[in-house]
Structure 1
Amino acid sequence: MSGFVVDMEGRFRLTKKPPFLTPGYQAVGQKLVDVKGIHETVPLDKYKNYDVPLHPQQTVVQFNSTYLETTGRNERRRGDAVGWGLCLGFVGLSVSNGILYLIVKSTTDFDIVSLSIGLILAFSMTLFFVPLINVLSTELFTTRHSPIRFNRKTRKVYVRQYNRKVEVYNWDDLTFFIAYINEDKDIRAVTFDKDGETITGMFALAFQDEVFDKSLISYFEFIRRYMEGDDQQLKEVKEAIRYIYPIHEKRETPLMSFKRLILNEVHHDHENMEYPERTFEFHPVTLVVLPLLALRYVGRVISMLTSYRHQFSKAIEAECQIDPNDPYDLNKHLPEGNLEQNNQPIWKTIVYSVGIIIATIIMLFIGAFIIDMIGAARPHGDYPSMVDKLWYVIGLGWLS
């Protein structure tokens, strides 16, 4: 059975339908207990005040007294599809080149058997590239983020799904729960049909975690208290935010791409990511995956360079008008400690930039060393050293 890769229920999964024919999550039309990939659910009560700290987890894009806008569920993994897709695409093109050579040679030699094999392989590669293009389309030439906007005045939620459709939900109609899925856990919001069982809509909140339910509840309470709280609680929600991620206004810089990338790698994401200086912890095993981080980083940068700003419809924006004098508008009044401060000292920018360059070079050398180790295991042949070749380029040996 052929399948198409779509970004649903958290990450890439196979479905019989291509993404442009799939109206939202695969769960639509099913009962919750029948949804594949969800192994367990923990109900969340949006009318209950959870006694936990509020953790925005660096997901806030816009905040004011009218609406709260966050990133989509997969923002912190942005670029993975491009990085891996380009890697697989390179392998696919290399194989395709060999297949093309086989077809041309068999045609010249009138070798029907080889020609038949070549044509079958060529058809097989077509089946390989179709889902690959589908994967790349989720992160290339699309919006820079997939916003989830909570309007506390109209009590509506606007969600930009991964099929590029914007869905509008009534907050009071949503049911929330923690979903245990294959890779980790996240928070789902669903709407049901009149029977109270058949799903009519589903989306995931921005934060996911694989360690503790409490970290997910802290994030849920941050969203819940914004929508359900009084003026005092609105102030508490505002004060919990230390970082605004202004992806709606400007494209992510390579420096910011690097910062966002390592949030999942060298930080405890089950703690409060608003204070990354407290959650940082580097493990030596991270050195092993540095080449993969380099691949993901390149993929994220390319993804951002090819993407455009998301814009809601005029009707939605009309429902989300902000008071020009709103004291809660954190996009006008950046919270203290915000990582995107315009007045950030130049020395910090220089240090970060140099650090990224050094880290990238280290990643490349580790990747080259691993390739050399694999090559050394070959039983025959004199395998050229990738480390030597890389040093020749980095050390400017080609200038001498």
Structure 2
Amino acid sequence: MAISHDIGLFIPFKINRPLTKEEKQSRFVRGKRRKISGEATVLDLETVIRMNSSYLEIVDKFYPTKGYIASFMMAFCILFIIFFLAIAKTTIFNGGDLPSLFFVFFLCGGVVFYCMRFLLKDWFRKTHYPVRFNRKKQQVHIYQISGEVITVPWGDIFFTTSKQRISYCIVGHLLSEDKETVLNTFSFGYVGPREELALYWEFIRCYMEEDCLEELAETVLFCPPVEKQKEGYVAGLQRLMQIDSRGDWLLLVLNLPFALIESIARYIAMQTSKIPQWSQDVIDACAVEPNDPINIGAENNSPHRWRTVLANETREAYDAKNQRLKSANQKIKAKLDAKYGGKI
């Protein structure tokens, strides 16, 4: 199988290299139950775009932070353009030094050009780069940053942990025949604390390997509204403002000015980018049976999204949600215990 390599978004993935010791130690193993402490067995972490009995489509790791780097670059561009216009006005109307104006022009132009290189990695690209886990065909369809779509057997991917400065994400390596050399790398879903990755991996693994689709569907409470549409401004702002508890309200107020700036950059990124389109081969491979009992997408999202974002749900809604998650996780755990005999 010929494997083309992806380029990464901001920092290229390192390829044509051997697996590191850390990658081997942090490997997520297929066909094996993951040891997890606590009540939760799986977590989808709000990454599911569409879930049915045929495929599970999730966002890429760049989607949650889309607009973040662009907001800084946009601010720098605006500041240096305003600075140049102010100098130009003073020079032209007050008889200033023209050579100095040209120097400022090239200085500001260089900064703007440098910032635009990063802006254009976020703007005028794709709204997101999805990954489809095809349960029926046991394949993974990957929409690469380069725009190419590749399909790889589930069993041929080396999944492991990748450190992202102070947080972590799951990546998939496509290896050469020696099972040591990395030919391609793709990332997906979620960047966050390392302890949550085990729960997230178990969600993915259970979807592909276990008989608990109905229970998994019960754990999905929110789907990013990006399937066949561009994320709107309000949806983007909600993602940037979302907090976990009312104790974070003060932090939310302090962060609000930055969230508003970032939301503008995110909205521009979404509106100038194209919606990714799967190839016909992928669509055919992921054909959904009529009257599939599992069909989860953004249309199932709660109409009271702001309450969740601001951690201000009613006690009844909060308790109902937690009971739903607890019940689903208990059922999944019971099925895994029955299959693996409680062994990890």
TM-score, length of structure 1 as denominator length: 0.65
User: Which residue pairs with 1:217 in the alignment?
Assistant: 198
Instruction: Provide closer, same or farther for how the CA distance between residues 306 and 181 of structure 1 changes in structure 2, counting only shifts above 3 A.
Output: closer
User: Which residue pairs with 1:45 in the alignment?
Assistant: 29
User: What is the SS of the residue equivalent to 2:64?
Assistant: helix
Structure 1 residue 102: Cα displacement: 8.6
Q: How far apart in 2 are the matches of 1:287 and 1:259?
A: 14
Q: Deviations over 1:246-279 (max 9, x none)?
A: 311333233322221123xx22xxxxxxxxxxx5
Structure 1 residue 196: Cα displacement: 2.6
User: Which residue pairs with 1:92 in the alignment?
Assistant: 80
Structure 1 residue 103: Cα displacement: 8.3
Instruction: Provide closer, same or farther for how the CA distance between residues 186 and 63 of structure 1 changes in structure 2, counting only shifts above 3 A.
Output: same
Structure 1 residue 99: Cα displacement: 6.2
Q: How far apart in 1 are the matches of 2:295 and 2:92?
A: 64
Task: Read off the aligned partner of 2:67 and give its amino acid letter.
Answer: G
User: Which residue pairs with 1:146 in the alignment?
Assistant: 129
Q: Which of 262, 280, 290 pairs up with 2:256? A: 290
Q: Deviations over 1:178-223 (max 9, x none)?
A: 222313111111112223322111111211113xx33110000100
Q: Which of 115, 121, 127 pairs up with 2:110? A: 127
Instruction: Provide closer, same or farther for how the CA distance between residues 120 and 154 of structure 1 changes in structure 2, counting only shifts above 3 A.
Output: farther
User: Which residue pairs with 1:317 in the alignment?
Assistant: 283
Q: Percent identity?
A: 22
User: What is the SS of the residue equivalent to 1:138?
Assistant: helix
Instruction: Provide closer, same or farther for how the CA distance between residues 98 and 249 of structure 1 changes in structure 2, counting only shifts above 3 A.
Output: same
Instruction: Provide closer, same or farther for how the CA distance between residues 166 and 100 of structure 1 changes in structure 2, counting only shifts above 3 A.
Output: farther
Q: Deviations over 1:308-338 (max 9, x none)?
A: 3221112221211111221112249x65xx3
Q: How far apart in 2 are the matches of 1:39 and 1:293?
A: 34
Task: Read off the aligned partner of 1:43 and give its amino acid letter.
Answer: R
1 or 2 for the larger relative contact order (CA 8 Å, sep ≥6)? 2
Task: Read off the aligned partner of 1:138 and give its amino acid letter.
Answer: K
2:164 is the alignment partner of 1:184: no
Q: How far apart in 1 are the matches of 2:185 and 2:254?
A: 37
Structure 1 residue 40: Cα displacement: 9.8
Q: How far apart in 2 are the matches of 1:33 and 1:290?
A: 40
Q: Which of 231, 254, 273 pairs up with 1:307? A: 273
User: Which residue pairs with 1:27 in the alignment?
Assistant: 14
2:52 is the alignment partner of 1:61: no
2:229 is the alignment partner of 1:250: yes
Task: Read off the aligned partner of 2:250 and give its amino acid letter.
Answer: P
| Cα contact 2:59–2:131 (8 A) shared by 1 | yes
User: What is the SS of the residue equivalent to 1:219?
Assistant: helix
Aligned-residue CA RMSD in angstroms? 3.2
2:71 is the alignment partner of 1:83: yes
Instruction: Provide closer, same or farther for how the CA distance between residues 131 and 29 of structure 1 changes in structure 2, counting only shifts above 3 A.
Output: farther
User: Which residue pairs with 2:292 in the alignment?
Assistant: 326
Structure 1 residue 163: Cα displacement: 3.3
How do residues 378-397 of structure 1 correspond to structure 2 at under 5 angstroms?
none
Unpaired runs of 5+ residues, structure 1, are: 1-5, 14-24, 268-278, 356-400
Alignment size in residue pairs = 299
| Cα contact 2:175–2:182 (8 A) shared by 1 | yes
Task: Read off the aligned partner of 2:271 and give its amino acid letter.
Answer: L
| Cα contact 1:179–1:188 (8 A) shared by 2 | yes
Task: Read off the aligned partner of 1:221 and give its amino acid letter.
Answer: E
| Cα contact 1:80–1:300 (8 A) shared by 2 | yes
User: Which residue pairs with 2:119 in the alignment?
Assistant: 136
Structure 1 residue 39: Cα displacement: 9.6
User: Which residue pairs with 1:205 in the alignment?
Assistant: 188
User: What is the SS of the residue equivalent to 2:122?
Assistant: coil
Q: How far apart in 2 are the matches of 1:101 and 1:289?
A: 35
Structure 1 residue 226: Cα displacement: 1.0
Q: How far apart in 2 are the matches of 1:40 and 1:57?
A: 25
Structure 1 residue 29: Cα displacement: 1.6
Q: How far apart in 1 are the matches of 2:209 and 2:55?
A: 12
Instruction: Provide closer, same or farther for how the CA distance between residues 76 and 309 of structure 1 changes in structure 2, counting only shifts above 3 A.
Output: same
| Cα contact 1:177–1:188 (8 A) shared by 2 | yes
User: Which residue pairs with 2:218 in the alignment?
Assistant: 239
User: Which residue pairs with 2:339 in the alignment?
Assistant: none
Task: Read off the aligned partner of 1:30 and give its amino acid letter.
Answer: R
Instruction: Provide closer, same or farther for how the CA distance between residues 220 and 86 of structure 1 changes in structure 2, counting only shifts above 3 A.
Output: same
Instruction: Provide closer, same or farther for how the CA distance between residues 41 and 208 of structure 1 changes in structure 2, counting only shifts above 3 A.
Output: farther
Q: How far apart in 1 are the matches of 2:86 and 2:31?
A: 62
Q: How far apart in 2 are the matches of 1:7 and 1:118?
A: 39
Task: Read off the aligned partner of 2:178 and give its amino acid letter.
Answer: D
Q: Deviations over 1:99-137 (max 9, x none)?
A: 65698799x88x7xx62x554554444432333222222
Q: Deviations over 1:135-162 (max 9, x none)?
A: 2223323332211111112222122233
